[in-house]
Structure 1
Amino acid sequence: MDAGFHVFLELPEQFRAADIAASCEALGVAVQTIERYYLGSAARQGLLLGYGTLSLDDIRRGAQVILEVLKRHSVAS
């Protein structure tokens, strides 16, 4: 992917980015919410995913963890 060192993942309204980030972190995948990049309240929910220093296997594992967390939170909503 030639998009730089980060990818923005916009989340649907039913997800809370902070909850998704905390669940990913608990499973060993660090992501950031985009709230810190807004002046005032965030207009969208989303995660910033850094991949600049990761191997392809690490990226695949991280993507799988994020997918599982989103599925879990989707069922809980």
Structure 2
Amino acid sequence: MSQQTRPRLASHALDLPNHCDICNRARSSGNHQACSKARQTRQSAYWDAYMTNVEAKRMQKANRNSGHKTDTRRTVTASGAQA
């Protein structure tokens, strides 16, 4: 049995469809650049909505975290009195 020089990149086979969802032909045959462009056009609205949602969540988290911070430490003035 031969010894491997490096670990495997994946522990299992990738779960990718073998047929194109646009033209319904095998991905291994032919050129699918036109299919890729059609897929990108179709998915662009989905990704725009997804990224808008991610940004909204990020803003909510920032607003939630910034509202609760209060400074409870006492400051000392130049004369030595506490404010």
Pairwise same-fold verdict (TM > 0.5): no
Q: Which has the higher contact order (CA 8 A, sep 6+)?
A: 1
| Structure number, greater radius of gyration | 2
The structure with the greater share of residues assigned to strand is 1
Give the TM-score taking structure 1 as reference length.
Answer: 0.30
